[in-house]
């Protein structure tokens, strides 16, 4: 009996301890990690940029003769048909460039279109090109002309930054902008001075035969 009574006390004490012990806790079920919202990638403005078509684009510059002996010289037509760059309609901007060593001098058809007569000889053209690249433009040191243009409100001129001969000048240039079948065409003209870009116009015989400071530039840019 004594042993039974002793076992009953032990069982009762164990039951009492069990009743006083805290119940085991379990961690709440983990919530699934929140998934980030699905965001469609924004289309980069560059993705909508148009590429300038060099074959359909032209920059032409008429260079007038000057000095007391101007009648002995020629007016010249310098041009680039190797314009490269992009037009971003969404950003109303364009960036393009051309190399000076790719310029042509006195192309017969372009001279006629510019109203210039009396085609110079091949030797005269070669001499003019050499003087232009080496003595005037320093094309080896400054090989590229770059242009940044921005379009404002409709009917307003383009704001254009031209970098030539290591100098950047900003000017307002009126332009006609048209879009047809996915092709944007920009045409216009502007007069600019060589001296504004740190360039000394070519001259010989103490200026008796010279090139005028002012240049007449016209352009057609096609982008698609």
| Pairwise CA distance, residues 158 & 172, whole Å | 6
How sure is the predictor about 221, in pLDDT bands with cuts at 50, 70 and 90?
very high
Q: Which of 58, 99, 56, 106 is nearest to 78 (CA)?
A: 106
| Pairwise CA distance, residues 46 & 42, whole Å | 11
How sure is the predictor about 20, in pLDDT bands with cuts at 50, 70 and 90?
very low
Where do the structural domains in the chain lie, given as residue ranges? 52-223
pLDDT digits (tens, 9 = 90+) for 58-104: 999 999 999 999 888 899 999 999 999 999 999 999 999 999 999 99
pLDDT of residue 154: 84
- Is residue 24 pLDDT above 50, yes or no? no
| DSSP H/E element including 15 | helix 2-20
pLDDT of residue 48: 84
Note every long-range contact of 39-45, with CB atoms under 8 Å and residues 24 or more positions apart, other chains counting: 45/88, 45/90, 45/91
∠ at Cα 12 (10, 15), nearest 5°?
110
Class of domain 52-223: mainly beta
pLDDT digits (tens, 9 = 90+) for 184-208: 999 999 999 999 999 999 999 998 9
Q: Which of 206, 220, 185 is nearest to 50 (CA)?
A: 185
How sure is the predictor about 46, in pLDDT bands with cuts at 50, 70 and 90?
low
| Contact between 149 and 134 (Cβ < 8 Å) | no
pTM (two decimals): 0.77
| DSSP H/E element including 51 | strand 50-51
């Amino acid at each position: 009996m004594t042993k039974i009574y002793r076992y009953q006390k032990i069982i009762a004490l164990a039951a009492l301890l069990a009743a006083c012990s805290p119940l085991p806790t379990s961690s709440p079920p983990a919530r699934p990690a929140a998934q980030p919202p699905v965001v469609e990638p924004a289309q980069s403005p560059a993705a909508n940029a148009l590429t300038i078509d060099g074959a359909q684009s032209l920059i032409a510059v008429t260079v007038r003769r000057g000095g007391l002996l101007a009648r002995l010289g020629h007016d010249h037509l310098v041009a680039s048909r190797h314009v490269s760059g992009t037009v971003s309609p969404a950003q109303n901007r364009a960036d393009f460039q051309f190399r000076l060593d790719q310029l042509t001098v006195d192309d017969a058809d372009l001279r006629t279109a510019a109203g210039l007569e009396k085609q110079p000889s091949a030797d005269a053209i070669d001499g003019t090109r050499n003087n232009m690249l080496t003595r005037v433009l320093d094309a080896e040191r400054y090989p590229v002309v770059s242009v940044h243009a921005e379009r404002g409100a409709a009917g307003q001129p383009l704001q254009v930054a031209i970098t030539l001969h290591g100098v950047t000048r900003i000017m307002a240039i009126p332009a006609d902008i048209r879009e047809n079948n996915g092709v944007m065409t920009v045409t216009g003209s502007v007069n600019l001075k060589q001296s504004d870009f740190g360039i000394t116009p070519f001259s010989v015989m103490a200026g008796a035969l010279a090139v005028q400071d002012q240049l007449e530039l016209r352009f057609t840019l096609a982008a698609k």
